[in-house]
Amino acid sequence: MKTKITLIMAFVLYAGCLFAQEKTKSITETTYMLCKRGMNEKFEAAVKAHNDKFHKDPNSAALRSVVYGDKAGWYVWLMRGTYASLDNRPGKGAHDDDWSKNVDPLVEEYGQVGLFEFNEELSVNQDKLADDGYYNLWMIDLKRGKYNQFKSLVSRIGKAYEAMDGRAFLVFDNAVPSNNTPDIGLIWGFDKYAELNDNWGTKAAYENIYGEGSWEAMVDEWMSITESIDTEIRSMLK
């Protein structure tokens, strides 16, 4: 009996160590906003001033402009942090007063709010995105039960990007999925539109790792496990 109790205690302690070592998840809250006609410059300046004043770590914030896609003309306000930081986000008082006085009067409409977990395991070259002027966002709906297969596929694509020129390739999981929101967000960074005309060498890098014909096989697998894709091109608004 004593041996059994000792083993149970050892297991509990070991399990506790595993949970203690789990990494804190980085999350991003996203809010679509449409500013009033002709107020873009004032809106961008007001949001930047608000972010600079009230949104330091662990609740840093940034603004993106949707240049192409169904939401072209809208903005996306991003607040980065952790689940714990959401409990202590800036709120009542000076923060809310500043937003109500300086930003809200410039907003025509507030749109969808989302919450996404950054998938560090599958993402590559995260720091490179800060040097880019734009990014292409794919919002992906998966077929039911295909998440693990998709993770394996995206992991292979990520290895190809690691072998390329250091271009950012980021993966986000939707923390609050619904029928009207994507399951996955994929981001590719680029600095100039002219780069969209270039051959980035992704196929060659992929086949160099996985063999001739592997790219077409990957595309076939992609088509078999994804339901739909919506695309946006966003400006970083540095």
What are the tens digits of pLDDT across the range 19-70? 445 789 999 999 999 999 999 999 999 999 999 999 999 999 999 999 999 9
**pLDDT tens-digit readout, 190-217:** 999 999 999 999 999 999 999 999 999 9
* Cα–Cα distance measured from residue 15 to residue 30, given in angstroms and rounded to the nearest whole number: 34
pLDDT band at 79; cut points 50, 70, 90: very high
**Assigned fold of 119-235:** Alpha-Beta Plaits (3.30.70)
User: Strand 134-142 relative to strand 226-235: parallel, antiparallel, unpaired?
Assistant: antiparallel
Measured between alpha carbons, how far is 47 from 204 in angstroms, rounded to an integer?
42
Note the pLDDT of residue 164: 86
Q: 0.85 exceeded by the pTM?
A: yes
Q: Provide the CB-side half-sphere exposure for 12 (13 A, CA).
A: 6
Residue with the two structure tokens 């050892």: 10
Fold agreement (27-117, 119-235)? yes
Q: What span, in angstroms and rounded, lies between the C-alpha atoms of 2 and 114? A: 51
What span, in angstroms and rounded, lies between the C-alpha atoms of 105 and 123?
38
Compute the distance between CA of residue 27 and CA of residue 83 in angstroms, rounded to an integer. 7
Sign of CA dihedral 51, 54, 56, 61: negative
Segment 78-83 shows an average pLDDT of 96
Residue 200 to residue 108: CA distance in whole angstroms:
39
Cis peptide before 58 (omega within 30 of 0): yes
Where would I find the H helices in the chain? 2-21, 40-54, 83-86, 94-98, 147-162, 202-210, 214-225
What's the CA gap between 144 and 85, in Å, rounded?
Answer: 31
So where are the chain's domains? 27-117, 119-235
The span from the first CA to the last CA of the chain, in angstroms, equals 65
Q: 3.30.70.3000, 3.30.70.2470, 3.20.20.100, 3.30.70.100: which CATH number matches 27-117?
A: 3.30.70.100
